[in-house]
Amino acid sequence: MNELHDNKAAAARAGLRLGSRASPLALAQARMTADALATAGSAGAAIVPMSTTGDRVQDRALREIGGKALWTRELDRALLDGEIDAAVHSMKDVETQLAPGLALAAMLPRADVRDRLIGALSLADIADGAIVGTASPRRTAQLLHSRPDLRVAILRGNVAGRLQKVADGAVAATFLAAAGLDRLGVDAGVALDLADWLPAVAQGAVGITCRADDAAMLTLLAGIDHWPTRLAVAAERGLLEGLGGSCHTAVAAHAMGDAGGWTLRADLYSPDGADRLRDSLATPVLATLAEARALGLALAERLLARATPAIRQSLEAASHPPSLEAASHPSPEAASHPSPEAARPLPEDGG
């Protein structure tokens, strides 16, 4: 509590308060944002670390609690209450619909979007029947599609903790986002080829939110906004929106382009990886966020038209996640008798 008070006091003196999750990766991204603002001419910013529900709840599967708001709701509340001026997020943790009163004001240049495999040189090199740790429905489905013989165990925690689990032999392998490892200065793992293994929606992108009515902050953040990243992420988030998906959805996507044209690729899986749909859409011009979102929605429509029963069922389930409040306070009966959902993969957290 004293540390949080000291940070708030420092932020007040600096004049600009940047809210962030308190994990090492989140703080590294907050420092990147502060540095970008300083380069753009800001007088300075202080980082206000905050503990989120996703950080605190370690005894239950996060899919039982409610979705991507696990990582953002405390920061959203602090913004709306005026405790901070802007909040820094990993964009893959941000819901497609922001809380009322908030605006997505800027994104930093996107980093390496790929996943890295930790513990083996390739998927083929993982021993038959081995246990692979991941907290991601997407990664689980991708893995089982390629290697149905493998077993998946829930693996939570920060980057260092997950690397240690592999080193200790608790799991044979795991996956981490290349961007997160690079930002922490960690040289580990083998990058997976995008031709076979697409990333999460918005992976590698850092976004900054602020109050929608804070004109001065919107103007300040516009000075560090990286437009190509904004367009790519808008297309990918449009896809997720069109699928009615969430962090519980086994969907992978990547948009990239330049003045010569843009392409959005996507893979959609059943939770067990047995079914996979692949598709892509290209456009010669992508100039506005509305056009980027429309590209994503159009690709989602194409995928939905071909969805198998297992994929449709998973999308319907993902569109009705448990509420945060109800799941954060389970009944004594629920606590005594955990549901089978507790053994299923969680939303991606950290890497």
| Calpha distance 346→155 (Å, rounded) | 9
Within 8 A by CB and 6+ apart from 259, the residues are none
Whether 218 and 211 have beta carbons less than 8 Å apart is answered as no
Half-sphere exposure at residue 191, Cβ-oriented, CA atoms within 13 angstroms: 13
Residue of 117, 96, 131 lying closest to 235 (CA atoms): 96
Whether 112 and 199 have beta carbons less than 8 Å apart is answered as no
| Calpha distance 52→67 (Å, rounded) | 13
| Calpha distance 348→92 (Å, rounded) | 8
For 36, the token pair is 């970008």
Active site annotation includes 112: no
3-state SS, residue 271: coil
**One of 55, 93, 115, 275 is an active-site residue; which one?**
93
For 187, the token pair is 């040289």
Q: What is the DSSP letter of 342?
A: G
Within 8 A by CB and 6+ apart from 143, the residues are 123, 132, 134, 150, 152, 273
Whether 28 and 211 have beta carbons less than 8 Å apart is answered as no
Active site residues: 93
